[in-house]
Amino acid sequence: MEEQALSVTQSRDLADTQSKSQRAYHWIKARISDGSYSPGYRLVLGIIAKELAISVVPVREAIRSLEAEGLVTFERNIGARVALFDEPEYQYTMQTLALVEGAATALSAPAITVDDIARARAINEQMIECLEHFDPHRFTVLNTAFHSVLYERCPNPHILDLVHRGWARLNTLRDSVFGFVPGRARESVLEHEDLLRRIESDENALDLELAARAHRLGTLDALLAFQAQRHTHHPLRTTES
């Protein structure tokens, strides 16, 4: 009888763990989908378990399921991170966006007002403040807002449409490489200020376009360098947490 009672208890515990694991799975997946957990975001089991008021065990099971779907990756000495989807597609999108956004920024420059510059600089200041306690998702949201100020006055609707399509594509790919390469974030805010100064000084259109293009490609280059280093030092993925 005792063995039977123990078996029933174990079955109930297993069912309870599976139920909590499913809840954790859907909770984490929803935050990955809406961008709250952006690419590169570190998934700390203890913190998630505390938020859900459950133990670490079902959270670990949920993250293993997400890894099997390609939504999460594991790295030695780091643990679970939100994965970056479709890296080749991200590369192609960034290369295309560098071209069209660079052109849009240069074409916008003559129409950008003093108020626009002030607004963009204020956004960049928020990005700088964000660096102290780095939040990749918030940084990406602010980054999107910053660049919007610089290209939205583009008088060519066809180029502007291509820029919008590029940014929309990045959103689909969950664009935020800053979680993987946070050092790029510090470089980025400095380059933002450089772009603003170029606009303020009425720099010629070609030089401004090339600077804006180089800024966009800088983020892509940082990711590609990170990936190359990762594959060199971690040729085999580990599932240690």
Determine the residue type at 181. V
Residue 42 parent element (H or E): strand 42-43
Whether residue 137 is predicted with pLDDT greater than 90 in this model: the reply is no
Interval 6-29: pLDDT, tens: 454 544 554 565 688 999 999 998
What is the C-alpha to C-alpha distance for residues 189 and 186, in angstroms, rounded to an integer? 6
What is the C-alpha to C-alpha distance for residues 106 and 231, in angstroms, rounded to an integer? 37
What is the C-alpha to C-alpha distance for residues 29 and 24, in angstroms, rounded to an integer? 8
- For position 73, what pLDDT does the model report? 84
pLDDT band at 175 (very low <50, low <70, confident <90, very high): low
The HSE-up count of residue 94 (CA atoms within 13 Å, CB side) is 22
Domains defined along the chain, listed by start: 2-82 (1.10.10.10), 87-233 (1.20.120.530)
Q: What share of the chain is helix, strand, coil (3-state, %, to 5)?
A: 75, 5, 20
Instruction: Out of 9-13, 109-113, 207-211, pick the least confident.
Output: 9-13
Interval 71-99: pLDDT, tens: 888 877 778 988 766 678 888 999 999 99
Strand order in the sheet with 79-82: 42-43, 79-82, 72-75
What is the C-alpha to C-alpha distance for residues 61 and 226, in angstroms, rounded to an integer? 28
What is the C-alpha to C-alpha distance for residues 70 and 215, in angstroms, rounded to an integer? 29
DSSP symbols for 175-209: --GGGT-HHHHHHHHHHHHHHHHHHHTT--HHHHH
pLDDT band at 231 (very low <50, low <70, confident <90, very high): low
The 8 Å CB, 24+ separation contacts for 138-141 are 139/176, 139/178, 139/185, 140/35, 140/38, 140/175, 140/176, 140/178
What is the C-alpha to C-alpha distance for residues 131 and 16, in angstroms, rounded to an integer? 40
Instruction: Out of 27-31, 103-107, 113-117, pick the least confident.
Output: 27-31
Whether residue 241 is predicted with pLDDT greater than 60 in this model: the reply is no
* pTM higher than 0.85: no
- For position 145, what pLDDT does the model report? 96
